[in-house]
Every structure is written in structure tokens, then in C-alpha cells.
Amino acid sequence: MKQDDIAWLQCISCHTTYSLNYKGYVCEKCGDLLDIVLDLERVKVRDWQVFRERPRGVWRYHELIPVDPSRRVTLNEGGTPLIECKKLSRWAGLKKLYIKFEGVNPTGSFKDRGMTVAVTKALELGVKGVICASTGNTAASLAAYAARASLPCITVIPEGAALGKVFQAIAHGAVLIKVKGSFDQALRIVFSKAEELGYYILNSVNAWRIEGQKTLGYEVAEEVSGEYNIFIPVGNCGNIAAVWKGLTELKNLGLVEHTPRMIGVQAEGASPFAKMVEEGWETLRPVDNPQTIASAIRIGRPVNWKKALRAVKESRGDAIVVSDKEILEAQTAIARLEGLGVEPASAASVAGVRKAVEKGVVDPDEATVCICTGHLLKDLNSELFKPKALIEIEPNEEELVRGIISMVL
């Protein structure tokens, strides 16, 4: 069956449809975002069995991803663990807390789920190269998948991107354009130059990214049953929309009975989406100079806010704001209570749970899944952690060790 028979692109506002080979990013008529819509009646999946016979990961679900799986550009992304965290759940005041640990993806973040699909699509479309603006994780992931696909890659990086992520983009051979300005300015450069270059834009405005990231929702649903909540960091608003898209598809296919509440978590200094939800506004009011230690969600004009708002509304979800201090406390708790190393943006989800329990937003008896989006090693900001104890000695001072250790333990 041709992919176009089972899926198409569709404007989220005026519902104009486009074939899967449409190279644009937004609706030609009204300029709004596009969804990829699957004709679930024609998708030949009626139970979990077909998936379970395959290895875990994004491509386990290929019937629900309308690109040609035989040409996939993959580094074995997805299939990340769902880890029960008993000590952390007590810390947050909950009965049962799981971390979905996306840091073990190939480049260390959930972005790989979107890139495996979107770069596969880029090859199908026959583009000359790929380009993105990025605070880091997107650039690292795109550079890796472009390398695997032998596609030229340009990454446009604003000020303040995390060290490890820029290092990855360089290592994987991307051309690096550093802009002495914000993410929004970097994105403007991308949009002004991509067409002229014949390069395909792989920011999260690209619906194929969302199409890969939705598998995060599939995986959670495969592993958790009954009533539960999902807490997820929100920056550009793409991932919360993607996870909800995945869950909705499963519900419509009859593969799950319950869908969870989607609760988005933003950092205080970069929280236009949470503000909108809280105030009941119907339109996002951008934040001009977003500030937070969690660089991966330091975004003031989230592109996908409409899709994210739909996710929160349809799931009877919510949005929570946490301070940088609360994020760092959560990051330390995750690392020291459970042995999981996550970057600050990831820890926002756990900080959000604790706050939501305090505020009575969620029932502490319901299971909660926190999406932790990227690895600790992504953001080596040495000011983040105080060592529990640090002792510096000369090799011949070993006799001191016993005494010092007994003081600090």
C-alpha cells in the first residue's frame, strides 16, 4: 500500500490537506502548523502482538510511521527504560513514580526519536542537505543522523548553548554557525536561508519530528496500565504534543483503554505556555528574554504551543511552573536517590510532580511517569552540584585519608 493512502499532512486550523511529499512546514493557505494524520481504519494493527515480536525502539511501530521503513536512517533510538523510583516517589510525596529515561538514546536525548524519522523523510524527499537552529540537543541529534545518512548538515547555534551538545555537533561534522544572539534570531536565519540553499529545516515545526517523538507515548502506554499521569518538560512545546499524539492514536486503535493526563512543566523564567494554561488564555504571549538554568527549555516563543494546548485540554491535563532552585533540587534528588543522571531540563518534570502534589493538582495515589529528556553529561555546568565531600591530597598523604573520611561520612 502506498504511504499516501494511509496518511496525509493536514493544517491544524483550516484543515487543508497536503500529500506526504509536501516539502513545506506550514499551511500555504493560513500559515498554521501541520499535523500528520493517519487513517487508522486502514492501518493494519489490531493488537500489540505485531509490535512485541520486534526489538524495542522507534521502528518497532513502523506501521504507524508513514515513511518507508526499509530506507530508515537509524542508530537504534528509543526503547528507553521506564525505571521505578521508590525513594524519589517518597521525596515527591507520591505512591508510585517512574522515570522514562531518554538520556540513553544514541546522542543522549529524546531528539533522536524525531530525527530518525525526519532524516529518513529528508532522504525520501531528496533534499540537498539539512539545517536547524538549536540550543544544543537538536543540533547534536541532527548532526549525528545527517552523518549516518551522508547528508550535509548546518546547525545554527545561539549564545549560551551547553558545551557537550555543541561538541557533539562538531564531532559529527556539521557546519556550525554561531550567532551572537538568541534562539529566535538563530531560527530566523535558518528560515531566511534554507530554501535558497535547498536545505530541509529540521526544527520541531517539522511535523516529521513529532511523528518520531510520538513513539515515546507508545512506549509508555505499552508499559504502564490503569490510571496515570505524565509529567513532561515543555520548551518549544513539541514533545508534549508528540507524546499525546501517540497516545491518542493508540486509544483510537483500541490498543489502550486509559490515556493519561498530560502535565507540562516549565521553568519560571521561560513559562509562556504554563502562563497561558493557568490564565485560560486562548493565545500565547511570548516571553522576549527567557531565562532559566535549564537551557534545553529556555525558549520564549514556543512554535508548537497550539498542539501542546490541544494535548493539555484533551487529556484534562495541566501546566506547572517550577523555579530554577526547584529544578536543581530535583536534579540532585534524581542523581543521589536513584543513580540516574539527567540534565536540568529533564529534572523539571520531577520538580513539577513534587509541586503538583503539594498543590493538590494530582492524586498522590495515581502512578506518575516523568519524562526525563536528556542525559546529565549533556550539560556539564560545574556550578550545578556541590560535591558531597571533596578532598585533595598528595599521594604520600594517604595517612590523612582515614581521618578525613571519618569526618565526612
Of residues 96-115, those binding a copy of itself (CB under 8 A): 101, 103-108
The number of angstroms, rounded, from the C-alpha of 175 to the middle of its chain's C-alpha atoms is 24
d(CA 63, CA 43): 7
Residue 14 or 389: the one with the smaller Cβ distance to a copy of itself is 389
Residue 37 or 337: the one with the smaller Cβ distance to a copy of itself is 337
Q: How far is the CB of 403 from a copy of itself (least distance, A)?
A: 11
Of 168, 200, 205, residue with least CA distance to 183: 205
d(CA 232, CA 315): 13
DSSP 160: T
Decide if residue 215 touches a copy of itself (CB under 8 A): no
Three-state DSSP state, 8: strand
Task: Please write down the HEC assignment for all residues of 266-291.
Answer: EEHHHCHHHHHHHHCCCCCCCCCCCC
Residue 108 or 302: the one with the smaller Cβ distance to a copy of itself is 108
Of residues 4-63, those binding a copy of itself (CB under 8 A): 55-56
Q: Where are the beta strands (DSSP E) in 248-345?
A: 261-267, 318-322
Residue 213 or 271: the one with the smaller Cβ distance to a copy of itself is 213
Of 84, 85, 53, 63, residue with least CA distance to 3: 63
Of residues 121-180, those binding a copy of itself (CB under 8 A): 129, 143-150, 152, 154, 163-164, 167-168, 170-180
Q: What are phi and psi of 372, to 5 degrees?
A: -105, 110
Residue 356 or 371: the one with the smaller Cβ distance to a copy of itself is 371
Q: What are phi and psi of 45, to 5 degrees?
A: -130, 120
Q: How far is the CB of 182 from a copy of itself (least distance, A)?
A: 8
Of residues 381-400, those binding a copy of itself (CB under 8 A): 382, 384-385, 387-395, 398
Q: Quick check: 45 and 65 in contact, CB under 8 A? A: no
Burial level of 316, CB count in 10 A (0-12/13-18/19+)?
exposed
Of residues 56-95, those binding a copy of itself (CB under 8 A): 56, 75-76, 81, 83, 87
Of residues 335-364, those binding a copy of itself (CB under 8 A): 335-341
Q: How far is the CB of 97 from a copy of itself (least distance, A)?
A: 14
Q: How far is the CB of 138 from a copy of itself (least distance, A)?
A: 14
Q: Which stretch binds a copy of itself (CB under 8 A): 212-220, 311-319, 322-330, 371-379?
A: 371-379
Residue 7 or 334: the one with the smaller Cβ distance to a copy of itself is 334
Contact letters (x/-) for a copy of itself, 297-336, by CB under 8 A?
Answer: ----------------------------------xx--xx
Residue 162 or 234: the one with the smaller Cβ distance to a copy of itself is 162
Which residue of 196, 279, 282, 383 would you call a contact of a copy of itself, by CB under 8 A?
196
Q: Quick check: 150 and 71 in contact, CB under 8 A? A: no
Q: What are phi and psi of 100, to 5 degrees?
A: -90, 110
Decide if residue 376 touches a copy of itself (CB under 8 A): yes
One-letter identity of residue 308: A
Size of the site for a copy of itself (CB under 8 A): 81
